[in-house]
Structure 1
Amino acid sequence: MPSPHRLSKLATTTVIGVLAAGALAASPASAATHADLGDVLFQPQPLRVATYNLSLNRGAAGQLVTDLSTGGNAQAQTVAEVIQRTDPDVILLNEFDYVADGRAVDLFRSNYLQVSQHGATPVTYPYAFVAPSNTGVPSGFDLNNDGTVGGGDDALGFGLFEGQYGMVVLSKYPIRTDHVRTFQKFLWKNMPGALLPDDPSTAAPADWFTPAELDVVRLSSKSHWDVPIRVGKHTIHVLAAHPTPPTFDGPEDRNGRRNHDEIRFWADYIAPSKSRYIVDDAGRRGGLRLTDSFVILGDQNADPVDGDSVDAAIDQLLDSRRLQDPRPTSAGAPEAAGLQGGANATHLGNPKYDTADFADTAPGNLRADYVLPSLALRVVRSGVFWPTQSDPLSRLTGVFPFPSSDHRLVWVDVRVPRFGQ
């Protein structure tokens, strides 16, 4: 019998049916027409799409494989249970170290997700996509201008080893592997109007990086992926990324500017009039068509009003006419903000939208993680897995030091068109 704490997609469908019945009683003709159109145009079962920065990163290459080789790692058990309780159909995992042969992903699926955690129903993802990350890849240059070359700060993306803080897409539906596009190697300088960092000690503009450095500096701190997934007869493009935190730099704000442009990449990619400059790792130019369905997923490291990101960084997506923002909420986030105080007390944003439990001194809790569907997908409901302290499942989120992650899983249920590309 399913756990009473497991968020049921079947229950979502039932609620929709009840609401539809009420509408029929109020206005039979109009409600019936709407219901008929829904039945004709959309697949009946909602698709749950999620993003989760689950902090399954480790301090040394190979350590994640070691930790996942048995079913006994406490943190892996906890984040796996979070996924089991929410049961997404498609999920992006941020901060999951990249292993070239996919061994780490296979171990996480077989030893954790497919094994009941604390009575939760196991979940199976037959399909997975992993690819290299810029994190930890040596640049050969002194990118942080500290006088030495080497270390995470001089890598193409911050990381102590190649692949640290990588990504994974897991799916219950087939991934169209032959149509996946990656943008790991796209150079930052090739984005028109890029917010390249400026050395404040000189009069020259945007001169933090030398011309030679600009020839190797990539836009993506990890990568940007377009992962098409086939749901029935319809294809949804999962647009996955994890922009760098807009901190850990100096007055040049190189990380804040990079975060802004990493977010902008998807805003341009989904707009055919703006995407012509984009070239993928296979040399193919351009972005999505107006007829393509998509969901933008990931820890964007940017809050609409609070935190350290460049002004309006995330608004580049939230203001797009090509997508919708379901604005997922939880009951646990505002409770946490009230109990923790500190920077949270000065925030302008409503804490019910927070998805990350950061330091109370600065920046406080923020909305950092997003699931943003295109207009072609009908949003049913959404949420953030952040239980209140009175909920028994709050043991999965906890307080610092967190048993799982400082981020929360964010999910959105959508109805998918019956037909399409």
Structure 2
Amino acid sequence: MLHPWDSQQFRRGAKDAGRPDQVIDRAIATARRIKRKNRDLPVIFSIFHLAHLTDIDVDSLLSVVDRTEDHYRIFRVKKRSVPGRVAPSRRYRTICVPSPALKRIQRWIAQNILNVTETHPASHAFAPESDLVEAANEHLRSSWIVKLDIINFFETVTERQVYYVFRSLGYAALLSFQLARICTRTLKLTPKGRAGSEGRVPHERYIAGHLPQGAPTSPMLANLAVRQLDDELDNLAKRLGWKYTRYADDLTFSLEGKSSRGKAAELMSLASQTLSRAGFTSNKLKAKIIPPGARKVVLGVLVDTDRARLSKKFRNNLETHLYALTSHKIGVRSHMQNRGFDSVIGMRQHIEGLLAFAHHVDEKYAAGLYRQFNSIDWLA
């Protein structure tokens, strides 16, 4: 969406509305500061202006900013391991779903502010036109690969960092604070065993706002909040002769030439220290050095040749799903129970995701599997 700005037209309208010249000049200076950062960004002067632009009641926005109540529905979903990747260390992922009104304003912010803002070139997730396979392609024909994973990526990005994202885009301090509040959630902790006991009110404490996983704004805000971290890791990699990419919380370093396990371990250590200084923690269980001769998988795809390929483990898993679901001896219900799915709908969505991934990597291979998938009788 385009957000044109004409300072002369604004000045005429403001004068006709009886605004003082000093106020008009400050507003125009703010608008020019925003447009200098990115001409596609919308000019927003205040939360009242934001409410007008989005056609949302300002009292609703102020309620979110003041945090008088929790505007999120919280639930947990099971984590499923991705074939070719390390199984998750935690079995569940906490999802925070914003209320309809909050989701509406967050979507507007995501579409009109965040999605028109450039991320670091090494970042390949969440942004428009981002591509998982493109990220994996950066590491084709590598002889050495070092992989790191960030623990609680979204939850570690703080309200303060989000505030500075909006400030860096030229928005005023107060509005940046309010935008940060709209895009983050405060976690309330209650001591175990005390909630509701004999009618006593438990002592509660609050953790500073963080990005909630499930909000439309969180993915791109996470990318923009760690732009400096991406820059430091990219410079570290280049200094040592390696290549660096980040896909959400997955960090990959690769090298086409000769190296040694000792040098790879040094890179891993320096990268982990860089993460720590930025407030993030590397998951030691997922840290990995892949030497020459070993199978090289990046983001679930093989990168050991001149093109990304699906791993044999991925193909076998997907083909087994489809065989069982089309088999008269097994069928939908039995396979759902055997594989531990909670519902047929959940299983179907999971397999559709696998098929979409397969199609993205290898269209010819996936075409035949789609025909098999479309023949499944889900009501049987």
TM range (shorter): under 0.3
TM-score normalised to the size of structure 2?
0.23
TM-score normalised to the size of structure 1?
0.22
Bigger fraction of residues in helix: 2
Larger radius of gyration, structure 1 or 2?
2
